[in-house]
Amino acid sequence: MTNTDQLVLTGPVGATASFNGKEYLYFGGTNYLGFADRIELQQGAVEAVKKYGSSFSASRETSGTGLLHLALERKLAQFKGTENACIYASGYLGNQILLSVLANPGDVVICDEWAHPSILEAIPRTVKEVRFYGHHDLEELAKLVRGLDRAIIALNGVETGTGEIAPLNEVLDILPEGDFQILVDDCHATGILGEHGRGTPEHYEIRSPNVYQTETMSKALGSFGGFIAGSKEFCDRIRETATTYIGSTPLPPAVLGACLAAVDLVMRESHLRQRLRDNAEYAASKLTNLGFQASFYGTPILFISNLDESGAKKLHLRLREAGIIVPFVHYPTSDSPGRLRLVVTATHTKEEIDRLCNGLKHA
């Protein structure tokens, strides 16, 4: 295989996955809890399609709200310990939906420089100013908020590339008195962080009405679609004012059936979070012993920092020849160099992680 050969999935993703018709050990993607090939999600999807067909074919505001949408919103609220939740087509759209509700004309929006593109593209044109602080640089953030009495701070809860957890507790501590709201894109934290898997705020035991999370069901929850959980009043505000929510076709039955099963599982199988953490910690310590600088932040994304772009690409290809996939990622829209995106899941066995580490050693 050359490095231009595209990996095309020819089966479901799990601890192993088949690409281009060949089975590999798989350490990529975002199927952190291993839900994407669980029978419960498949059955949920099939039963929902049998009962409701393939699409609701209308927006929620007209005739497109189904029983399954209401059931999923209730179940997500239960999972999150909130009064209500609001679902929509993707995690990417969540930041547009949230910012359209939070931001007033003339507001200042302050972003971590690594904020996901879905945040940056979502900032309404009517805001007065967008400011950036260095990644997790709290001193710079403190300078940017000085003198303000209102602003929206936007950041990623868990970094998709490095697995770091945002210092949300410290961000809250440095804010002056005033009307400050924090958008946490928690797409990589849902199901992973916190005692109940409720994300970055729960990880720090933060219960602040000024912290808003945008979340996804397409990563740890193994299905698809975005959601925001909160008070009934806030979710109704989204339903009444967010044009992205109002003007788009809602999640279809198959996805809703799978999501309902996934939220049941994430509430019931809390041991998977511990297994995920143990697996990631085990892999990070083995890799460190082999001479890789593998950072472990308590999330399943392991960042190997002592590899340049060409080293990462070579390693990816050699591992691929050895039957192991660790994706080499280089987004065409990003200035940062390409790198390995190494993800351990809750369903990997210690033997599979040992095979990965041996593969890396020989590669």
Ligand X SMILES: Cc1ncc(COP(=O)(O)O)c(C=O)c1O
Among residues 16, 190, 200, 216, which is the contact residue for ligand X, using CB under 6 A?
216
State how far the Cα of 260 lies from the Cα of 257, in Å rounded to an integer. Answer: 5
Closest distance of CB 108 from ligand X, Å: 22
DSSP code of residue 35: G
Residues paired with residue 227 on neighbouring β-strands, in sequence order: 87, 215
Tell me if 232 sits within 8 A of 238, measured CB to CB: no
**Going by DSSP bridges, is the β-strand pair 301-304/342-343 parallel, antiparallel, or unpaired?**
antiparallel
Phi, psi (degrees; rounded to nearest 5) at 164: -65, 150
Closest CB to ligand X among 29 and 124? 29
State yes or no: residue 96 binds ligand X (CB under 6 A).
no
State how far the Cα of 324 lies from the Cα of 321, in Å rounded to an integer. Answer: 7
Tell me if 356 sits within 8 A of 349, measured CB to CB: no
State yes or no: residue 35 binds ligand X (CB under 6 A).
no
Closest CB to ligand X among 188 and 339? 188
Tell me if 190 sits within 8 A of 33, measured CB to CB: no
Closest CB to ligand X among 25 and 97? 97
Stretch binding ligand X (CB under 6 A), from 50-58, 180-188, 245-253, 329-337: 180-188
State yes or no: residue 82 binds ligand X (CB under 6 A).
no
Among residues 222, 226, 252, 359, which is the contact residue for ligand X, using CB under 6 A?
226
State yes or no: residue 118 binds ligand X (CB under 6 A).
yes
Among residues 16, 82, 96, 156, which is the contact residue for ligand X, using CB under 6 A?
156
> Which residue, 95, 87, 59, is CA-closest to 212?
95
Among residues 18, 160, 288, 295, which is the contact residue for ligand X, using CB under 6 A?
160
Closest distance of CB 271 from ligand X, Å: 25
State yes or no: residue 187 binds ligand X (CB under 6 A).
yes
Tell me if 213 sits within 8 A of 75, measured CB to CB: no
Closest CB to ligand X among 200 and 218? 218
Residue 105 half-sphere exposure toward CB, CA atoms < 13 A: 1
State how far the Cα of 222 lies from the Cα of 46, in Å rounded to an integer. Answer: 15
State yes or no: residue 245 binds ligand X (CB under 6 A).
no
State yes or no: residue 248 binds ligand X (CB under 6 A).
no
Closest CB to ligand X among 89 and 283? 89
Q: Residue with CB nearest ligand X?
A: 91
State yes or no: residue 44 binds ligand X (CB under 6 A).
no
State how far the Cα of 155 lies from the Cα of 180, in Å rounded to an integer. Answer: 14
State yes or no: residue 90 binds ligand X (CB under 6 A).
yes
State yes or no: residue 222 binds ligand X (CB under 6 A).
no
Closest distance of CB 12 from ligand X, Å: 18
Is residue 25 classed as helix, strand or coil in its secondary structure?
A: strand
Contacts of 335 (CB under 8 A, 6+ apart): none
State how far the Cα of 173 lies from the Cα of 151, in Å rounded to an integer. Answer: 15
Closest distance of CB 244 from ligand X, Å: 12
State yes or no: residue 91 binds ligand X (CB under 6 A).
yes
Among residues 82, 218, 223, 347, which is the contact residue for ligand X, using CB under 6 A?
218
Tell me if 71 sits within 8 A of 112, measured CB to CB: no
Tell me if 186 sits within 8 A of 157, measured CB to CB: yes
- Other residues' Cβ atoms within 10 Å of the Cβ of residue 248: 17
Closest CB to ligand X among 89 and 353? 89
Closest CB to ligand X among 78 and 160? 160
Closest CB to ligand X among 80 and 188? 188
Site size for ligand X (CB under 6 A): 13
Site for ligand X, rule CB under 6 A: 90-92, 116, 118, 156, 160, 185, 187-188, 216, 218, 226
